[in-house]
């Protein structure tokens, strides 16, 4: 279920534009508007929940699905030599949009 106050839910519904690189019935992947690497994509679950700790069995399957799709999406978008996945969980971790999403960073050597 989507949340009317969530920016990612608004992007999923098409109310806010984005540069999509992949979409199916379970997830949307688009370019981050403030990239931290040459390639910086956001893989967003189409089910609104904030944290991995909120995942029930169905949401855990959704996270698994996303993680299985990401390698091909990353490779198709210029991350041939590797990429980094980041899932910020909570304010102290730097999460600014409280809708589960996975950052995909790559396209160049990344600092440790």
Q: Which residues are catalytic?
A: 101
- Which of 72, 71, 77, 70 minimizes the C-alpha distance to 101? 70
How many Cα neighbours within 13 Å face the side chain of 15?
10
């Amino acid at each position: 279920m989507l949340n009317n106050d969530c920016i990612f839910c608004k992007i999923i519904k098409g109310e806010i534009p984005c540069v999509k690189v992949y979409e199916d019935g379970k997830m949307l992947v688009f370019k981050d508007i403030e990239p931290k690497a040459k390639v910086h994509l956001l893989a967003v679950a189409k089910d609104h929940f904030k944290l991995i700790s909120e995942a029930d069995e169905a949401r855990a399957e959704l996270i698994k699905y996303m993680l299985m799709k990401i390698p091909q999406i990353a490779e198709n978008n210029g991350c041939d030599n590797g990429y980094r996945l980041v899932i910020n969980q909570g304010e102290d971790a730097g999460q600014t949009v409280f809708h589960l999403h996975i950052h995909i960073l790559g396209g160049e050597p990344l600092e440790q």
